[in-house]
Amino acid sequence: MKKIAVMGTGYVGLVSGTCFAETGNQVVCCDIDETKITNLINGKIPIYEPGLEEVVKRNVKEERLTFTTDIPQAIRDAEIIYIGVGTPMAESGEADLTFVKNVAQTIGENLNGYKVIVNKSTVPVGTGRLVHGIVSSRSNGRAPFDVVSNPEFLREGSALYDTMNMERAVVGATSDHAADMIIELHKPFTETIVKTNLETAEMIKYASNVFLATKISYINDIANICERVGADVTKVAEGMGYDKRIGAQFLQAGIGYGGSCFPKDSKALVHIAEQVGYDFKLAKAVIETNDKQKLKVVSKLKSIFPSLKGKRIAVLGLAFKPNTDDMRDAPSLEIIPELVKHEADVEAFDPIANRAAKQFFGESITYSTDLYKTIENADACVILTDWKEIVEMDLDKVRRQLKMPILIDGRNCFDLKEAEKAGLIYHSIGRPVVEHSAKVIQ
Ligand code: UDX
């Protein structure tokens, strides 16, 4: 059992802290936001993450997990301090390290014995050394300490599962002793440990995320070519995926990646490379493909309707992916303003993210949690997120509800034959268009 303080109760901090408590450690999660901490003490979770609330409540009840705004005290009591604060992206693509630096200063000022300081926030290569320098100067040699980089690979929507069953833990440390402490902490989660130095661990995080983003942009480029040569990208991906060297995952063509990691990390890695005089052209192309891909559904709509003015468009899904209300870099943030600009009348459906989405779209669109009502009388229906309810919707009913039987699927949720059988005009990504014999477009 270790005494752990976690700085920052965002996604990374809260999930990691909860999982450390779940595996028997004594954890205090800290934040400067009083309301957030009060809510957490009262069992209110600030993020939508399936299963998290239950595990938080159990660990609070069993007194392994507490919450506080008294950061100095939490630091003094801890053996291990995790930094999981936000690193928002500045205009330049550079990560803003203000919160990380503030935490490092507070740790330095309150260092009262040997501690292991672990960075879990996604930070530029070199931040571990920076934290080491800040703690060192603020603590004036009062006590020894080590710094570790232990990057996070969890996915939103399956964050608990991903942490409890991680495929590997990456531990980059300034001493073997500190590395061993963090490796021990991860024994319940995985046997596979990559032990390395600070810079390498920091680089692994970026290299992994940008590689996955590259896979997505690659298959989206292939999808765009498939559309021109009459091939089906889902079959192309299947055919590629059986090759173990390629792997079947992250080859789903669509309207591009969003979320809190891929967009931010790809830009940050380009910036990191620039800082050391390297022009990372491949990553730049990945970003460019992704930016263009988001608007594919709009161009498909425009190829059908000479004008979108006054057309009722049902938009299905607002969040960047299913099982989350996260709107960060969601493709809908580009697509909806474009539809609104063309004076389309947009009614959106999302099971969870409507409230979060309202902060971006305000009253420019209407919101619904009733899938079929959203579709009723629409001139066209556009799928942006592959929520279970959407993937499982009854296409016959969809056709009956629609004014015109037009379905634009940005996530390739349906089989082409199924769409044809339902009598839909079905446009998806990287697959042949399913046409309908009746002429319906005015
Ligand atoms: C990702 C990484 O998976 C995780 O390891 C890292 O720690 C954080 O970033 P997350 O952003 O939660 O996790 O979502 P993920 O499920 O990876 O999807 C990211 C985006 O890529 C979504 O917008 C998704 O729709 C898109 N995507 C994913 C595709 O377009 N095609 C695919 O084949 C896979």
> How is residue 88 written in tokens?
């928002």
Task: Name which of 239, 232, 120, 133 is nearest 186 in CA terms.
Answer: 120
Strands 169-173 and 145-149: antiparallel
Residue 232's SS3 state is coil
> How is residue 9 written in tokens?
């109760």
CATH of 292-427, one of 3.30.70.1450, 3.30.450.80, 3.40.50.720, 3.30.465.10: 3.40.50.720
User: CB of 41 within 8 A of CB of 67?
Assistant: yes
> How is residue 17 written in tokens?
């802290």
Average pLDDT over every residue of 258-269 = 93
Residue 115's SS3 state is strand
How far is residue 190's CA from residue 209's CA, in Å, rounded to a whole number? Answer: 20
Long-range contacts of 415-420 (CB under 8 A, 24+ apart): 416/232, 419/395
Q: Whose CA is nearest to atom 24 of ligand 1?
A: 257
> How is residue 72 written in tokens?
């100095």
Fold of the domain built from segment(s) 205-287: N-(1-d-carboxylethyl)-l-norvaline Dehydrogenase; domain 2 (1.10.1040)
What residues form the annotated binding site for NAD(+)?
Answer: 31, 36, 87, 122, 156, 264, 328
The answer to whether residue 80 scores a pLDDT higher than 50 is: yes
Alpha helices in 242-391 (DSSP H): 262-275, 281-293, 296-304, 332-341, 354-361, 371-375, 388-391
User: CB of 22 within 8 A of CB of 56?
Assistant: no
Strands 169-173 and 3-7: unpaired
Domain ranges of the chain: 3-196, 205-287, 292-427
- pTM to 2 decimals? 0.94
Residue among 262, 287, 387, 391 to mutate when testing ligand 1 (max atoms within 8 A of CB)? 262
- Known catalytic residues? 261
How far is residue 149's CA from residue 295's CA, in Å, rounded to a whole number? Answer: 37
Q: How far is the CA of 89 from the centre of ligand 1 (A)?
A: 18
Residue among 155, 390, 391, 428 to mutate when testing ligand 1 (max atoms within 8 A of CB)? 155
The answer to whether residue 74 scores a pLDDT higher than 80 is: yes
- Above pLDDT 90, what percent of the chain? 92
Q: Does ligand 1 have an atom closer than 6 angstroms to the CB of 320?
A: yes
Q: Does ligand 1 have an atom closer than 6 angstroms to the CB of 216?
A: yes
Task: Name which of 196, 204, 203 is nearest 171 in CA terms.
Answer: 196
For 18-29, give the secondary structure using H, E and C: HHHHHCCCEEEE
Q: Does ligand 1 have an atom closer than 6 angstroms to the CB of 254?
A: yes
Q: pLDDT higher for 46 or 236?
A: 236
For position 437, what pLDDT does the model report?
56
Fold of the domain built from segment(s) 3-196: Rossmann fold (3.40.50)
Give the type of residue at 91. E
**Bridge partners of 95?**
89
The predicted-structure confidence for 312-343, as pLDDT tens digits, reads as follows 999 999 999 999 999 999 999 999 999 999 99
* Sequential DSSP letters for 348-362: EE-SSTHHHHHHHHG
Q: How far is the CA of 62 from the centre of ligand 1 (A)?
A: 34
- Non-local (6+) Cβ contacts of 22 within 8 A are 55, 58, 59, 64, 164
Which pLDDT band holds residue 89 (cuts at 50, 70, 90)?
confident
The answer to whether residue 48 scores a pLDDT higher than 90 is: no
Domains 3-196 and 205-287 share a fold: no
Residues, the chain: 442
Tokens 């399913």 locate to 434
